[in-house]
Structure 1
Amino acid sequence: MWRQVGFPARNPEKLVRALSHTHRTLWIRSTRKSRMARAGQLLGFCRATSDGALSATIWDVAVHPAWQRSGLGRGVLERLTARLVAEGIPNITLFAEPNVVGLYEKLGFIRDPVGVKGLAFQGKLPAVKPLMLL
């Protein structure tokens, strides 16, 4: 499903490690065979990392292309967000593709609340001088 929704390819070992360090996951599978899905096929998924107390970040929200615009994305996000709030986690963030920002806003997410600007570091570290230990 990752490739079908346009997510970048991921190293399987790293994906297993990421999932094992995930605070909460939520997925939807088909319960029976239909013209749009096999029995047991993954239809929707999302996950959250968290410190379990103050903040959480939602990642990897994906809905199989045949099921997009059916409410599954809204459903997984509503349920995952409600679970995090019920755990007492007050700050929930997520990263969004530009074409789905409107959905997240309808669910109560706010772009840059109170002037907070999100930053991301990706790639190689700049060259630094080694530390001298005395």
Structure 2
Amino acid sequence: MIGSSQKLNPLNLTEPVITRYFETLNKGDFPETAKLFAIDGVLQPPFESPISGPEAIANYLQQEAREMILSPLSEALETTETGHTQARIKGKVKTTLFTVNVAWIFILNNQKEIISVEVKLLASLEELVSLRR
């Protein structure tokens, strides 16, 4: 987790809710992270089934995201056909064992709640295999 001397990567994200997502995750405040999701919001972790609803998301993050440091490095925004905001964020996730390049694809509704976050590992097959050792 990020201590008082460590800060989130200084990338100025456009959407405050996405900034808050990274801040709360890096602080280990998973209930606050989950509150950013719409009531039927979904977290899609890599290689796992989607996690739906704030309570389930908070529980999942408590089990799986402890001691991770997420660093967003680039952002691309667009408006979908339905009028929602889609943000593609690329960056890194540091765990106690490794650091990996990651992409997050956020969909925000008009109330600026997170409808979904898809997390994709940006690694070669060789890199992924080496993580399992």
Calculate the TM-score normalised by the size of structure 2. Answer: 0.29
Task: Name the larger-Rg structure.
Answer: 1
Calculate the TM-score normalised by the size of structure 1. Answer: 0.29
Question: Per chain length, whose mean CA-contact separation is higher, i.e. which structure has more relative contact order (CA < 8 Å, sep 6+)?
Answer: 2
Structure with the higher strand share, 1 or 2: 2
